[in-house]
Structure 1
């Protein structure tokens, strides 16, 4: 448990360095009909840029982890796109397959943003992601390399489901493990939609029982989350497991998919 808390503190530092991006998002997203598919790895600064925008647009996406040394999905990227570069987005709604985080971000705003235009602050990322690299180092470079013990283990038959938002420190430690174990999952973004959502689940800025914005994404997601707006929340349809606490989720993933 002490080690887990240290990881949480490192994750908090990562969120601070990232300037709080990946926290807030629209309550009324333009979710595409066919699922977006993102091939990436948690510790990649370039992938993080895309995940931050996915949180801002509050879009759900299928994540196919491609950590360094991984063998499950990296080959698919090479086959479909012609090179091993991450992130790699497949959008079956538009027929696009895209490398380069900046191109992916423009695509997301064009097709799923409110105006069809990329906001100024998301138009010109530095070519060398210095802040992102620092954030990765602060997080002890977790979510970068595959767990070699499970490299030949088959992926779960059904995609796991994770409710999260990018800057959540507790969610990040779960996404780290999912990456290292090469476990594909549906990422349900439930970004904070207004000031009443700010703060951790047990200590939000607005006191009293939590009431989501009527008709917003969080409002619609609550029934799927057992009526409790807290992240991370993991559902594994392969075993029927439903878990909230990050420490319990990490322990479950390691036991179910990490032991050999």
Structure 2
């Protein structure tokens, strides 16, 4: 075990970012999240492939609090970061909860639990801070501890992000980071709302809380090397997952994933999205997020992850089936 930890941490050290922050040069960027009134598209050297849903595909019914038997070990391993990271990324900033008589929550309003005539009411301060008009763009990959730190603050701030996965040997977005930023280093953030771009996970975190939060970095993200160390230890059970490219079709439009960093089910889906190098807009919906109600209104149910694929028209719950769908639809092997 000690040898494994040493080897893993040595690998993590190779991702240690160098300081870099600048205004985004407009004439060099050719990936951009469009406004809500426009369709978001993917522009890369690889030509997007026309896509259709798998033959006879039927979206599964959502099953709350159930884990498919063959996925139990996977989910357990993906849940390990919750321990090492003290559930960072599970709750939105200012999260609070209370049990209220069920009559106080009208029909059609989302509530996670109902016990003995009482419902769980969850609130947060997510809407008290400025919201980005366009999604923040982040180039990263799942198994990088520095990237995880940034994904955690994204969940805490409840902001939506256009993720460009950058697995090893990925042909599309790793080269783009070099082109627009000058070096291959992750995470790399682009904020199209302020024309700001930067490397360095801690700098990105400080920028995001200053721009879209209350200016205060959460304690569990303010511990320097200890934060990175615990993020790395939390990934030991999933070592290597979400880091290496699997040849895949490039979608014409980014997928949409309702998810949050603290969920092991969401992590399993994101590993596959990264390995297939599938760009996706993540609609953040950690505990306390008002966007849980939006998904509830949209589908009659809340459960994360929920995948929407604008390229095939598919919308679906259930992480195991989402993974199978992604591999069947996009993987070339």
The equivalent residue for 2:312 is 239
Aligned length in residues: 233
| Superposition CA RMSD, Å | 1.8
Decide whether aligned partners of structure 1 residues 4 and 120 sit closer, same or farther in structure 2, where only a CA change above 3 A counts. closer
TM-score, structure 1 as length reference: 0.84
Q: Is the Cα–Cα contact under 8 Å of residues 143 and 239 in structure 2 kept in the other structure? A: no
The structure whose Rg is larger is 2
The equivalent residue for 2:327 is 254
Q: Distance in 2 between matches of 1:44 and 1:132?
A: 9
Q: CA deviation at 1:250?
A: 0.5
In the alignment, structure 1 segments of 5+ residues that lack a partner are 194-212
The equivalent residue for 2:188 is 88
- Offset from partner CA, 1:41-63 (integer Å, 9 cap, x none): 01110000000000000111000
Pick aligned residue for 1:165 from 253, 260, 281:
260
The equivalent residue for 2:285 is 190
Write out aligned runs for 1:85-234 (5 A): 85-113=185-213, 115-126=214-225, 129-147=228-246, 150=247, 153-193=248-288, 216-224=290-298, 226-234=299-307
Q: Distance in 1 between matches of 2:306 and 2:320?
A: 11
Q: Is the Cα–Cα contact under 8 Å of residues 249 and 332 in structure 2 kept in the other structure? A: no
- Offset from partner CA, 1:74-121 (integer Å, 9 cap, x none): 0110011100000000001111111000000000001000x2343455
- SS state at 2:304 partner: coil
TM-score, structure 2 as length reference: 0.66
Q: Is the Cα–Cα contact under 8 Å of residues 11 and 138 in structure 1 kept in the other structure? A: yes
Q: Distance in 1 between matches of 2:133 and 2:183?
A: 28
Q: Is the Cα–Cα contact under 8 Å of residues 10 and 140 in structure 1 kept in the other structure? A: no
Q: Is the Cα–Cα contact under 8 Å of residues 164 and 187 in structure 1 kept in the other structure? A: yes
Q: CA deviation at 1:227?
A: 2.2
The equivalent residue for 2:117 is none
Q: Distance in 2 between matches of 1:105 and 1:90?
A: 13
In the alignment, structure 2 segments of 5+ residues that lack a partner are 1-67, 94-123
Q: Is the Cα–Cα contact under 8 Å of residues 14 and 138 in structure 1 kept in the other structure? A: no
The equivalent residue for 2:145 is 45
Decide whether aligned partners of structure 1 residues 243 and 140 sit closer, same or farther in structure 2, where only a CA change above 3 A counts. same
